[in-house]
Amino acid sequence: MNPIAFDNSYARLPERFYARQAPEPVAAPGPIRVNEELATALGIDLDWLKSAAGTEAVAGNATPPGADPIATVYAGHQFGGFNPQLGDGRAVLLGEIIARDGHRFDLQLKGSGPTPWSRGGDGRSPLGPVLREYLLSETMYRLGVPTTRALAAVTTGDVVARERFLPGAVLARVASSHIRIGTFQYYAARKDVEALQLLADHVIERHYPDARAGENPVLALLEGVVSRQASLIAQWQLLGFIHGVMNTDNMLICGETIDYGPCAFMDAFNPDQVYSSIDHGGRYAYRSQPGIAHWNLSCLAQALLPILDDDPERAVALAQKAIDAFPGQFLDANAQGMARKLGLEAIGEQDAALVEDLWQLMAEHGLDFTLAFRRLADLVHERDEPSLNVSALFEFPDALQPWLERWRARLDQDAQPAAARQALMDRANPVFIPRNHLVEEAIAAATDEKDLGVFHRLMEVLASPHAYRPDLAVFATPPQPEQVVRQTFCGT
Residues that bind ligand AMP (CB under 6 A): 86-90, 117-119, 121-124, 245, 250, 259, 261, 490, 492
- Give the integer Cα–Cα distance in Å for 182 and 440: 31
Residue 468 Cβ vs Mg ion, minimum distance, rounded to whole Å: 34
Sorted by sequence, the CB contacts under 8 Å of residue 11 that are 6+ apart come out as 18, 68, 70, 93, 95
Cβ nearer to Mg ion, comparing 156 with 250:
250
Cβ nearer to ligand AMP, comparing 113 with 337:
113
Query: From Mg ion, ligand AMP, none, which one binds at residue 86 (CB under 5 to 8 Å depending on kind)?
Result: ligand AMP
User: With binding defined as CB under 5 A, does residue 370 bind Mg ion?
Assistant: no
Tell me how long the chain is. Answer: 492
The mark string for 191-230 relative to Mg ion (x by CB under 5 A, - otherwise) is ----------------------------------------
Query: From ligand AMP, Mg ion, none, which one binds at residue 248 (CB under 5 to 8 Å depending on kind)?
Result: none
- Give the integer Cα–Cα distance in Å for 462 and 446: 18
Based on the residue annotation, tell me whether 384 is a catalytic residue of this protein: no
Classify residue 422 as left (phi > 0), alpha (psi -120 to 50) or beta.
Answer: alpha
Can you tell me which of 259, 267, 309, 426 binds Mg ion, judged by CB under 5 A? 259
- How many residues lie near Mg ion (CB under 5 A)? 2
Query: From Mg ion, ligand AMP, none, which one binds at residue 42 (CB under 5 to 8 Å depending on kind)?
Result: none
Closest CA to 186 of 270, 99, 253: 253
The stretch among 95-103, 163-171, 249-257, 377-385 that binds Mg ion (CB under 5 A) is 249-257
Query: From Mg ion, ligand AMP, none, which one binds at residue 169 (CB under 5 to 8 Å depending on kind)?
Result: none
Query: From Mg ion, ligand AMP, none, which one binds at residue 127 (CB under 5 to 8 Å depending on kind)?
Result: none
Task: Give the number of other Cβ atoms within 10 Å of residue 412's Cβ.
Answer: 8
Classify residue 225 as left (phi > 0), alpha (psi -120 to 50) or beta.
Answer: alpha
Cβ nearer to Mg ion, comparing 8 with 183:
183
Residue 463 Cβ vs ligand AMP, minimum distance, rounded to whole Å: 26
Cβ nearer to ligand AMP, comparing 141 with 186:
186
Q: Of residues 106, 122, 158, 249, which has the active-site annotation? A: 249
The stretch among 124-132, 258-266, 373-381, 434-442 that binds Mg ion (CB under 5 A) is 258-266
User: With binding defined as CB under 5 A, does residue 250 bind Mg ion?
Assistant: yes
The stretch among 157-165, 253-261, 404-412, 436-444 that binds Mg ion (CB under 5 A) is 253-261
- Give the integer Cα–Cα distance in Å for 219 and 209: 13
Cβ nearer to ligand AMP, comparing 296 with 334:
296
Residue 305 Cβ vs ligand AMP, minimum distance, rounded to whole Å: 25
Query: From Mg ion, ligand AMP, none, which one binds at residue 118 (CB under 5 to 8 Å depending on kind)?
Result: ligand AMP
Residue 121 Cβ vs ligand AMP, minimum distance, rounded to whole Å: 2
Query: From Mg ion, ligand AMP, none, which one binds at residue 121 (CB under 5 to 8 Å depending on kind)?
Result: ligand AMP
**Active site (catalytic) residues:** 249
- Which residues contribute to the site for Mg ion (CB under 5 A)? 250, 259
